Amino acid sequence: MIRPDPAAAPVSDLVPMTPDHLPQALALSQAAGWPHRLEDWALTLSVSKGVSAFEGGRLVGTAICSAFGPVATLNMIIVAEDRRGMGLGRRLMQHVIALAGGCEMRLTATEDGLPLYRRMGFIERGRIVQHQGLARAMKPERPVRFGPADTDMLAALDTAASGMQRKALLARIAATGDTLRTEGGFALLRAFGRGHVLGPVVARDAGAARALMSAAAEQLAGQFLRVDLSAADPLAPHAEALGLAHVGGGTAMVHSARPCAPSDHHSYALASQALG
Ligand SMILES: CC(C)(COP(=O)(O)OP(=O)(O)OC[C@H]1O[C@@H](n2cnc3c(N)ncnc32)[C@H](O)[C@@H]1OP(=O)(O)O)[C@@H](O)C(=O)NCCC(=O)NCCS
């Protein structure tokens, strides 16, 4: 591939991201083929800090750091197609890495992003598999309740499973979405992208996670549902049985990883590829 001469690139100004930038940010993510709606960008920015690259009034790049206690996720890293290969992605990454302030950093890399992240010291630690489609109803193998739940308790289980302190995020998702509970686990279901996403799914065992997935599919039968699973977990066949086909995914990467305390709970599905 012939790469543009960085010296010939226009210099863009990097400024803190504000909600005013989001309509242009949405256009960037849509041009990259991502399904996010304005509301999805707003949810992420509401619990994060971001950086925007401008050339005059034109937004040409974005990156976000979502700090969740000892772990930060880096996300929404996009450079306008006509500005790629000129060093802007690296500059944006340097800014969000500084925002992470020495925390463990996680991200889900696209094929485009992998070379940049590898060069910046991120290491691969597994595959994320994205499943989606029109949900097919299936009776859950355990009873699942929908309804409000104690956010402190959900956040504590989520932290035990993921190492991230995401109470503010989970509370925001629960406020507009559904909370599903079963013996040994919980999940959140919310509007996202082309329909709904189920995640996080936090459970003690795969049976609880399957029940939560089935309940979500039953609730949304015939409607678009997405779930982002770890390829290391055994839930892909269940997602397929619920009508959620494997459509792609990404590479889970980490930088400055810290040891995680052992836990009897596990994250079976991401809140999103952006938010871990
Ligand atoms: C990923 C992305 C942000 C990179 O932005 P960029 O401005 O093109 O990246 P840079 O020009 O700063 O390149 C950074 C480094 O990665 C390398 N690199 C970037 N793209 C590369 C590619 N396709 N192949 C090989 N190396 C590549 C560059 O050589 C550079 O290395 P260096 O600094 O050591 O010379 C951009 O391609 C993009 O927006 N893609 C679409 C959205 C996306 O997938 N984002 C990633 C989400 S996880």
Q: Is residue 34 part of a domain?
A: yes
Q: Is residue 160 part of a domain?
A: yes
Indicate if 145 and 244 belong to the same structural domain. yes
**Ligand 1 geometric centre to CA of 255 (Å):** 17
Q: Is residue 245 part of a domain?
A: yes
DSSP assignment string, 132-197: EEE------SS-EEES---HHHHHHHHHHHHS---HHHHHHHHHHSEEEEETTEEEEEEEETTEEE
**What is the distance between the alpha carbons of residues 247 and 182, in angstroms, rounded to a whole number?**
28
User: What's the confidence (pLDDT) of residue 4?
Assistant: 62
**Ligand 1 geometric centre to CA of 38 (Å):** 24
Select from 274, 178, 159, 176 the least CA-distant residue to 228: 274
User: What's the confidence (pLDDT) of residue 260?
Assistant: 85
Q: What is the CA radius of gyration of the chain?
A: 19
Question: Among 112, 130, 251, 270, which residue has the most ligand 1 atoms within 8 Å of its CB, making it the best to mutate?
Answer: 112
Indicate if 137 and 234 belong to the same structural domain. yes
Question: Among 93, 116, 117, 127, which residue has the most ligand 1 atoms within 8 Å of its CB, making it the best to mutate?
Answer: 116
Q: Is residue 108 part of a domain?
A: no
pLDDT along the chain (276 residues), means of 10: 61 96 98 98 98 97 98 98 97 98 98 97 98 97 95 97 98 97 98 98 98 98 98 97 98 95 95 98
Q: Is residue 146 part of a domain?
A: yes
Q: Which of 58, 86, 102 is the last residue of a domain?
A: 102
What sign for the dihedral angle of Cα 143, 160, 192, 20? positive
Indicate if 202 and 95 belong to the same structural domain. no
Q: Is residue 60 part of a domain?
A: yes
Cβ–ligand 1 distance for 174 under 6 Å, the answer no
Q: What is the CATH number of the domain that holds 241?
A: 3.40.630.90
Range of the domain at 51: 6-102
Cβ–ligand 1 distance for 115 under 6 Å, the answer yes
Q: What is the CATH number of the domain that holds 48?
A: 3.40.630.30
Indicate if 145 and 208 belong to the same structural domain. yes
pTM of the model: 0.95
3-state DSSP assignment of residue 43:
helix
Q: Which of 87, 102, 117 is the last residue of a domain?
A: 102
Q: For the chain, what is the domain count? A: 2
User: What's the confidence (pLDDT) of residue 10?
Assistant: 76
Indicate if 49 and 147 belong to the same structural domain. no
Select from 161, 48, 40, 57 the least CA-distant residue to 96: 48
Cβ–ligand 1 distance for 89 under 6 Å, the answer yes
Indicate if 239 and 187 belong to the same structural domain. yes
Cβ–ligand 1 distance for 273 under 6 Å, the answer no
Ligand 1 atom closest to the Cα of residue 34 is 42
Q: Is the N-terminal amide bond of 200 cis, ω within 30° of 0?
A: yes
Cβ–ligand 1 distance for 58 under 6 Å, the answer no
Q: Which amino acid is at 91?
A: R
Q: Which of 67, 102, 137 is the last residue of a domain?
A: 102
Query: What SS3 string covers 57-102?
Result: CEEEEEEEEEEECCEEEEEEEEECHHHCCCCHHHHHHHHHHHHHCC
Residue nearest to atom 25 of ligand 1 (CA): 115
Indicate if 136 and 92 belong to the same structural domain. no
**Ligand 1 geometric centre to CA of 165 (Å):** 30
Q: Is residue 85 part of a domain?
A: yes
Residue 95's Cβ-count burial label (10 Å; 0-12, 13-18, 19+) is: middle
Q: Is residue 90 part of a domain?
A: yes
Cβ–ligand 1 distance for 112 under 6 Å, the answer yes
Indicate if 67 and 138 belong to the same structural domain. no
Ligand 1 atom closest to the Cα of residue 61 is 39
The token pair that represents 192 in the structure block? 């996202």
Indicate if 157 and 221 belong to the same structural domain. yes
Cβ–ligand 1 distance for 77 under 6 Å, the answer yes
Q: Is residue 214 within 8 Å of 97, Cβ to Cβ?
A: no
Q: Which residues contact 117 (CB under 8 A, 6 or more apart)?
A: 93, 107, 109, 253
Indicate if 50 and 141 belong to the same structural domain. no
Indicate if 83 and 136 belong to the same structural domain. no
Indicate if 27 and 91 belong to the same structural domain. yes
